[in-house]
Amino acid sequence: MPDLKPLPPHLIGGNFLLTETDPSLVFTPEDLTSDQRLMAQTAEKFMEKDVLPNLEALEHQEEGLLPKIFRKAGELGLLSMGVPTEYGGLGLDKTSTIGVEEQVTRLGGFGVTCGAHRGIGTMPLHYFGTEAQKQKYLPKLASGEWMGAYALSETGSGSDALSLRTKAELTPDGKHYVLNGTKMWISNAGWADLFTIFAKVDGKVTAFLVEKTFPGVSTGKEEHKLGIKTSSTRRVILEDAKVPVENLLGEVGKGAYIAFNILNIGRYGLGAGAIGGAKESIKVATRYALERSQFGRPIASFGLIQHKLAEMATRTFAGESVIYRTAAMIDAVQETGEMMDSTTPPFPRSLDEFALECSIIKVACSEILDDAADETLQIHGGYGYTEEFPAARAVRDSRINRIFEGTNEINRLFIPGLLMRRAQRGRFPLVEAITKVTKELLDMSPSDDTAEGDDLAPVQSLLANAKKLVLFVSGVAYQKHGEKLGDEQEIVASLSDMIIDIYLAESALLRTLKTRNVRGSASAMVDLTLAFTNDAVGRWEQQARRALAAISQGDELKTQLGIVRRLLRWTPLNGVAIERRIAKRLCEVGSLSALVASK
Ligand SMILES: Cc1cc2nc3c(=O)[nH]c(=O)nc-3n(C[C@H](O)[C@H](O)[C@H](O)COP(=O)(O)OP(=O)(O)OC[C@H]3O[C@@H](n4cnc5c(N)ncnc54)[C@H](O)[C@@H]3O)c2cc1C
């Protein structure tokens, strides 16, 4: 077990499942200071002046245009926010940079270029590089003079990334590694100056910093992609590529730590960008729904269109709430400066602690964006299917987010798997929690324990019960399948979906409670939280029943289903009325941000 220092309960990864959090401890978008909002405003102006007017030319990859705009982003500090000041960066925390992630994804492909550069392109060096490596490369990456890329995938190894075949051999004089192999699907490859490349040394995965001008390094032609056409995706070809030994990143055989811990942060960044895209879709959809009339009235006045607008707003609100909550948690652990010393190379605990939350964010936010983009197209009707409106491009651009940074299937499998691995290492008291909850539930006599109180009190007690439910179902599943539970992917995915909804619903609730405490009222947020929870109950029930029915049968199953019913006791709210209120206000104010700002 790693020798880790104790953290406050709300800063322990995965602990949201076992404890309740005081609303005052969560960070929300409403907590941003004017200084923190400044970078987002800079990014917004940049997008409107330099990027969006060039949209067509960027989509057609006009020679030299993207690198020019990219450098401008660098001059404005938009590429260096997470890089420490001693290496030419702005040294900002995560909460200060979310707004930038949101802005750049207003054009999906440009968001991928910047995100891949700042995240997986720069962070391996930032977190795992030696002082000399950082001095040499970080300032160039921070300023945008150079572009970064991350090359893990190959033709035969995508999800199963560690089965990669690229080889690196030390030359007899010990001065270089010679790399041979082909990397596939590498974002930014067409423009990148520095690649973090993963190759095997004597069969062990190892990371290297590879300049594009090193002998033997070349790139393939641009892939013809469904979307994100503004971005570059190519193969990186290594033919006896000579890489100086000084460019070994970390240690031989420790590349997997680098690859996977960087992906944690990448998943968080992807989610933040996706929520930016979803917020943009909401604006576009609302505007169109108000402008377009059919049957003599704006389509925004129809219930089914209101339902779509409200659902987009509800889910995006929950997604935004988890992004800010998690960003501040990562920042707080980062501030402790604690390293995972039991690993070589050591790396900041903040990269590892919230791996579960980062996967949740990746899955949930990519799906929120996909649905928002799809419904925006639907609201545009036939026009949405043409290139005349931005909806078609948004659908194409959003789709990639469910595939890269670990497919959503792989991330769904990872979420319960990680909890179990941490439990086995004595780092997370999962087994104790399952045992306690199971005993309590089996001993409990049926009673009407629906919470009374204000409108959010039942949500709080339902959430507490949803946590018990996922622990209970996990216990039943583990009892049946033991160590082989991972092979029962459908059950694992059901657990995962329940956990995802819990984190989202709780984050939305805590944000609403905190805001209401501060402002005295937050009725729009209350509606959004109620709408999310009202729908989540059905999903929890469906997933729990599906998992239990795949595990148990007969009387045992009946008893277990009784527990599900008891835990999810919830008088359905009038979801239609709530959604109509949400949609009406959204149409009055035009954006999710304005909606949640209203009391
Ligand atoms: C536009 C684009 C940009 C990319 N950028 C980068 C980059 O910058 N750097 C980089 O290294 N890579 C990059 N990738 C690669 C990306 O990470 C991989 O495509 C992704 O990891 C999936 O791998 P794969 O395509 O080989 O699919 P596969 O792994 O073959 O998966 C195919 C399907 O099977 C499912 N599947 C696979 N294994 C399992 C399992 N055990 N259980 C259940 N289902 C499973 C997957 O979820 C998927 O649905 C990029 C890809 C694209 C398309």
Query: Which string of DSSP letters, residue by residue, matches 543-555?
Result: HHHHHHHHH--HH
Per-residue pLDDT tens for 284-320? 999 999 999 999 999 999 999 999 999 999 999 999 9
Calpha distance 238→452 (Å, rounded): 65
Helix (H) or strand (E) holding 519: helix 489-519
Q: 545: how many CB neighbours lie within 10 A of its CB?
A: 17
pLDDT band of residue 507 (cuts 50, 70, 90) is very high
The torsion region of residue 207 among left (phi > 0), alpha (psi -120 to 50) and beta comes to beta
3-state secondary structure 401-436: HHCCCCCHHHHHHHHHHHHHHHHHCCCCCHHHHHHH
User: Which ligand 1 atom sits closest to the C-alpha of 152?
Assistant: 11
Query: Is there a contact between 190 and 222 (Cβ–Cβ < 8 Å)?
Result: yes
Q: Is the dihedral of CA 489, 494, 497, 499 positive or negative?
A: negative
For residue 395, the CA-to-ligand 1 centroid distance in Å is 19
User: Which ligand 1 atom sits closest to the C-alpha of 161?
Assistant: 21
User: Which ligand 1 atom sits closest to the C-alpha of 149?
Assistant: 8
Angle between helices 408-424 and 489-519 (to 10 degrees): 90
Q: What is the radius of gyration, based on Cα positions, of the chain? A: 24
Query: Is there a contact between 67 and 119 (Cβ–Cβ < 8 Å)?
Result: no
pLDDT for the residue numbered 598: 84
Calpha distance 48→329 (Å, rounded): 31
Strand partners, 219: 236
Residues with CB under 6 A from ligand 1: 116, 150-153, 158-159, 185-187, 225, 233, 400, 403-404, 407, 409-410, 489
Calpha distance 519→546 (Å, rounded): 41
What residue type is assigned to position 483 of the chain?
E
Calpha distance 539→381 (Å, rounded): 29
Per-residue pLDDT tens for 60-104? 999 999 999 999 999 999 999 999 999 999 999 999 999 999 899
- Secondary structure class of 7 (helix, strand, coil): coil
- Secondary structure class of 240 (helix, strand, coil): strand
Query: Is there a contact between 587 and 595 (Cβ–Cβ < 8 Å)?
Result: no
Per-residue pLDDT tens for 11-48? 999 999 999 999 999 999 999 999 889 999 999 999 99
Burial 257-289 (b: 16+ CB within 10 A, else e): bbbbbbbbbbbbbbbbbbbbbbbbbbbbbbebb
> What is Dmax (Cα atoms) for the chain?
81
The protein residue whose alpha carbon is closest to atom 6 in ligand 1 is 186
For residue 355, the CA-to-ligand 1 centroid distance in Å is 19
For residue 323, the CA-to-ligand 1 centroid distance in Å is 24
For residue 7, pLDDT over 90 is answered with yes
Residue closest to 277 by CA, chosen among 180, 195, 349, 374 = 374
Pocket test of ligand 1: the residue of 197, 403, 412, 489 to mutate, having most ligand atoms within 8 Å of its CB, is 403
Residue closest to 444 by CA, chosen among 559, 312, 345, 318 = 559
Burial 199-222 (b: 16+ CB within 10 A, else e): bbbeeebbbbbbbbebeebebbee
Choose, from 353, 405, 506, 541, the residue flagged as catalytic: 405
For residue 400, the CA-to-ligand 1 centroid distance in Å is 10
pLDDT for the residue numbered 3: 76
For residue 574, the CA-to-ligand 1 centroid distance in Å is 41
- Secondary structure class of 181 (helix, strand, coil): strand
Query: Is there a contact between 375 and 310 (Cβ–Cβ < 8 Å)?
Result: no
Kindly list the distances between the CA atom of residue 123 and the CA atoms of 110, 127, 141, 246, in Å, as whole numbers in the listed order: 19, 6, 10, 18
The protein residue whose alpha carbon is closest to atom 25 in ligand 1 is 158
* 102 catalytic residue (yes or no): no
Query: Is there a contact between 32 and 93 (Cβ–Cβ < 8 Å)?
Result: no
Per-residue pLDDT tens for 463-483? 999 999 999 999 999 999 999
Q: 457: how many CB neighbours lie within 10 A of its CB?
A: 12
For residue 346, the CA-to-ligand 1 centroid distance in Å is 28
- DSSP state, residue 92: -
Q: 346: how many CB neighbours lie within 10 A of its CB?
A: 15
Calpha distance 584→562 (Å, rounded): 39
The angle at the Cα of 128, spanning 348 to 275, to the nearest 5 degrees, equals 65
User: Which ligand 1 atom sits closest to the C-alpha of 410?
Assistant: 47
Q: β-strands 194-201, 148-151: how paired? A: parallel
The protein residue whose alpha carbon is closest to atom 35 in ligand 1 is 409
For residue 447, pLDDT over 80 is answered with no
Take residue 162 and report the two structure tokens written for it. 């560690």
Mean pLDDT, residues 579-598: 97
Per-residue pLDDT tens for 385-433? 999 999 999 999 999 999 999 999 999 999 999 999 999 989 999 999 9
Kindly list the distances between the CA atom of residue 103 and the CA atoms of 131, 208, 229, 392, 400, in Å, as whole numbers in the listed order: 32, 31, 18, 19, 18
- Say what percent of the chain tops pLDDT 70: 98
For residue 239, pLDDT over 80 is answered with yes
Query: Is there a contact between 182 and 236 (Cβ–Cβ < 8 Å)?
Result: yes
3-state secondary structure 304-370: HHHHHHHHHHHHHHHHHHHHHHHHHHHHHHHHHCCECCCCCCCCEHHHHHCHHHHHHHHHHHHHHHH
The angle at the Cα of 38, spanning 89 to 317, to the nearest 5 degrees, equals 110
User: Which ligand 1 atom sits closest to the C-alpha of 153?
Assistant: 11
Pocket test of ligand 1: the residue of 159, 162, 398, 405 to mutate, having most ligand atoms within 8 Å of its CB, is 159
- Secondary structure class of 210 (helix, strand, coil): strand
For residue 449, pLDDT over 60 is answered with no
Per-residue pLDDT tens for 433-443? 999 999 998 88
For residue 158, pLDDT over 90 is answered with yes
Q: Whole-number mean pLDDT of the chain?
A: 95
What residue type is assigned to position 552 of the chain?
S
- Secondary structure class of 35 (helix, strand, coil): helix
Q: In the chain, helix, strand, coil percent, each to 5?
A: 65, 10, 25
Match 């040394």 to its residue by tokens: 201
Helix (H) or strand (E) holding 236: strand 233-244
The protein residue whose alpha carbon is closest to atom 44 in ligand 1 is 409
What residue type is assigned to position 352 of the chain?
D
